[in-house]
């Protein structure tokens, strides 16, 4: 992003802010900053049992050393100790801290990921250990040569690794333990070149998670007093990106699906850190409305994640109930249970230290609704929110992780995976539990049979898509109406148009193909299991009904030639397994999510 001018979401944001500011204050979410620590402490106390004699954290399921995890464990525990928790685990923290202080030159394990975390531990421990021990630590840090030790410097990387180098060196400076100022600015210059006008960072293949990961850490150094030459640019990037993330937050509180490292709780924890920091930022500017929006958005995100961490045994580090031993949903070669669970704990501890409880909560955009927007071509998404409903459409999916089409339907207060939280990739580059075999690309969207007898699915297309356009027809708090038009090479078809309407009563969907010789039908994933709880699926005369964990999902398609379940075996995304339903029509009159009648 070369210029700080022209944030595309400014008109929408200003409209929503005025509407929200004039509305009555909502009831508080009920999550305090202490709850951040409650969640972090549950994870850390369990993880303390994974520490071996050397101080290393060993993953309980892989049985392997988890290098990044050990530093994050020390950091998470350090943040808890600084907050007055877990003081009985001080020696445990020292053990992990010292183990990885000795390994700062371990280039191939990317020690830039450790530095900020070890700084958190250092801050917690420096006044509770003998002075000679502290002095040895400080000497090690002052002798640390990041350009020779960080993999991003040694191998000249230009991805999100750089932001970890930035935060690590900044926190070394902050604590008077060195810090390479030139490296910080070089890395920031490189990172800022990969932000869009929406304030979103583009890691390779546009994973939404790493936009948030990168921006939140830049915002963290701004919050803690960065005064370098890039301050203005960082402040504006974080302002834009933080507002964009408010607008794409689901009505359930979740962050979007899409790309690597998705559906893990650490993502909402990153969001909470960003929001708590931005809440303070706007409070200092005297804008208590926006400050309150950010505070509430953070608390809603964490409340959404809490059941998987606080109520399940063992706790889950991702949004599903599969036994963690299956590693279901984990990206290949990284993302082990210990690594990302403890990262979540560290971020929850960070959010606690960023939070200001004096800020009064204000309704979030996700709760107010009444808008639709798109991100094209970067991130290739359409988001729409109205009447408690929220949808996310991936308009040109990276098939290594996702499928093209309507990949998310959420409603406030309803289990997020019930309708769909993320699309299903045929051959995802993440682990599927052994019970799942060959599967097909699947999202809510059209399919048709071409003149060779082959089934074509919108979900299958990626490089064939040349352009996608959004036509917003109506955007009010009561109703949002819009079309999404795909242009490209789809066999006998050159254009696919989807028509959407969202309101408090539900969602309607219609599809049109530009070739009248083709007869589209609509594919719909129906939840079978989240790995722990089974659903109850009914095929009805005019659609389908799914009951699950006290909630109900219904699809109404009166006038359809036929509604049925396909013969396809259950297909899984990161959060659940789904059967494939077929509606032999080009229109679904209504899709609804509600509490099950028996639960009302």
**Positive/negative CA dihedral, 161, 164, 168, 170:** positive
Per-residue tokens: 107: 């280039």
d(CA 407, CA 420): 6
**Positive/negative CA dihedral, 415, 267, 52, 38:** negative
Q: Does position 598 have pLDDT exceeding 90, yes or no?
A: no
Catalogue all structural domains in the chain, each as residue range(s) with its CATH number.
24-365 (1.50.10.10), 369-599 (2.70.98.70)
d(CA 157, CA 42): 35
Average pLDDT, stretch 341-363?
98
Task: Report residue 82 CA to chain centroid gap.
Answer: 27
pLDDT at 10: 96
Residue 358 CB contacts under 8 Å (≥ 6 apart), including other chains: none
Q: Does position 600 have pLDDT exceeding 50, yes or no?
A: no
For the chain, counts of helices (H) and of strands (E): 16, 18
Confidence at 319, pLDDT banded by 50, 70, 90: very high
Write down the H helix ranges in 48-130.
67-82, 90-101, 112-125
Each residue of 355-409: pLDDT tens digit? Answer: 999 999 999 999 999 999 999 999 999 999 999 999 999 999 999 999 999 999 9
Phi, psi of 336 (to 5 degrees): -60, 160
DSSP line for 120-187: HHHHHHTTTS-HHHHHHHHHHHHT--HHHH-HHHHTT--STHHHHHHHHHHHHHHTTS---HHHHHHH
Count of Cβ atoms closer than 10 Å to residue 14 Cβ: 10
Put the strands of the sheet holding 506-513 in their side by side order. Answer: 465-475, 479-490, 493-503, 506-513, 587-595, 551-556, 543-548, 536-540
d(CA 125, CA 4): 41
d(CA 571, CA 438): 8
Each residue of 538-555: pLDDT tens digit? Answer: 999 999 999 999 999 999
Please tell me whether residue 50 adopts helix, strand or coil conformation. Answer: helix
Task: Report residue 534 CA to chain centroid gap.
Answer: 25
Residue 446 CB contacts under 8 Å (≥ 6 apart), including other chains: 457, 458, 496, 498, 511, 513, 520, 521, 522, 523, 586
Q: Does position 67 have pLDDT exceeding 90, yes or no?
A: no
pLDDT at 334: 83
Each residue of 446-477: pLDDT tens digit? Answer: 999 998 999 999 999 999 999 999 999 999 99
Q: Mean of the per-residue pLDDT values for the chain?
A: 96
Average pLDDT, stretch 533-542?
96
Q: Does position 585 have pLDDT exceeding 90, yes or no?
A: yes
Cα separation values, 168 from 104, 213, 269, Å: 12, 14, 19
**Alpha-carbon dihedral angle through residues 560, 563, 567, 568, given to the nearest 10 degrees:** 80
pLDDT at 597: 57
Claim: this prediction has a pTM higher than 0.85 = yes
Phi, psi of 270 (to 5 degrees): -60, -45
d(CA 230, CA 246): 24
pLDDT at 1: 55
């Amino acid at each position: 992003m070369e210029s700080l001018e022209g944030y595309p979401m400014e008109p929408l944001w200003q409209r929503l802010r005025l509407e929200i500011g004039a509305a009555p204050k909502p009831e508080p979410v009920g999550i305090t900053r202490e709850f951040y620590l409650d969640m972090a402490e549950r994870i850390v106390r369990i993880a303390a049992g994974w520490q071996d004699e050397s101080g290393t954290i060993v993953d309980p399921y892989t049985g392997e050393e988890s290098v990044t995890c050990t530093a994050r464990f020390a950091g998470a525990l350090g943040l808890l100790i600084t907050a007055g928790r877990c003081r009985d685990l001080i020696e445990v923290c020292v053990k992990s801290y010292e183990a990885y202080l000795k390994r700062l030159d371990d280039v191939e394990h990317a020690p830039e990921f450790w530095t900020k975390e070890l700084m958190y531990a250092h801050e917690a421990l420096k006044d509770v250990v003998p002075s000679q021990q502290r002095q040895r630590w400080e000497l090690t840090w002052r002798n640390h040569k990041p350009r020779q030790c960080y993999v991003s410097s040694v191998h000249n990387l230009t991805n999100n690794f750089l932001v970890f180098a930035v935060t690590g060196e900044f926190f070394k400076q902050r604590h008077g333990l060195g810090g390479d100022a030139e490296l910080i600015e070089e890395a920031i210059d490189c990172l800022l070149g990969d932000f869009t006008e929406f304030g979103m960072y583009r890691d390779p293949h546009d994973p939404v998670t790493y936009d948030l990961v990168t921006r939140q850490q830049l915002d963290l150094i701004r919050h803690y007093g960065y005064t370098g030459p890039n301050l203005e640019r960082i402040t504006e990037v974080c302002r834009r990106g933080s507002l964009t993330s408010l607008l794409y937050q689901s009505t359930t509180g979740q962050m979007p699906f899409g790309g690597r490292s998705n559906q893990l709780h650490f993502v909402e924890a990153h969001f909470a850190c960003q929001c708590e920091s931005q809440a303070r930022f706007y409070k200092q500017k005297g804008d208590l409305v926006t400050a309150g929006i950010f505070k509430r958005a953070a608390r809603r995100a964490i409340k959404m994640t809490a059941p998987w961490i606080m109520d399940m045994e063992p706790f889950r580090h991702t949004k599903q109930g599969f036994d963690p031993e299956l590693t279901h949903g984990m990206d290949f070669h990284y993302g082990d249970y210990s690594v990302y669970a403890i990262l979540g704990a560290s971020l929850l501890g960070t959010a606690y230290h960023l939070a200001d409880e004096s800020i009064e909560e204000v309704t979030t955009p996700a709760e107010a609704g009444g808008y639709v927007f798109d991100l094209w071509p970067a991130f290739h998404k359409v988001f729409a929110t109205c009447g408690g409903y929220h949808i996310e459409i991936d308009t040109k999916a990276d098939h290594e992780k996702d499928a093209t089409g309507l990949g998310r339907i959420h409603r406030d207060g309803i289990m997020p995976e019930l309708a769909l939280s993320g699309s299903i990739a045929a051959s995802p580059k993440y682990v599927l539990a052994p019970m799942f075999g060959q599967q097909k690309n699947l999202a809510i969207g059209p399919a048709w049979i071409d003149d060779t007898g082959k089934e074509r699915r919108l979900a299958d297309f990626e490089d064939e898509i040349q352009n996608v356009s959004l036509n917003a027809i109506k955007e009010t708090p009561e109703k949002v109406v819009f079309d999404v038009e795909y242009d490209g090479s789809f066999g006998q078809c050159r254009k696919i148009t989807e028509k959407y309407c969202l309101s408090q009563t539900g969602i309607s969907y219609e599809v049109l193909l530009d070739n009248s010789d083709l007869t589209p039908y609509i594919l719909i994933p129906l939840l079978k299991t989240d790995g722990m709880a089974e659903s109850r699926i009914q095929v009805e005369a005019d659609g389908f009904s799914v009951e699950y964990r006290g909630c109900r999902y219904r699809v109404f398609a009166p006038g359809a030639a036929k509604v049925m379940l396909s013969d396809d075996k259950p297909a899984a995304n990161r959060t659940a397994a789904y059967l494939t339903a077929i509606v032999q029509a080009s229109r679904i009159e209504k899709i609804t999510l509600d509490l099950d009648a028996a639960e009302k």
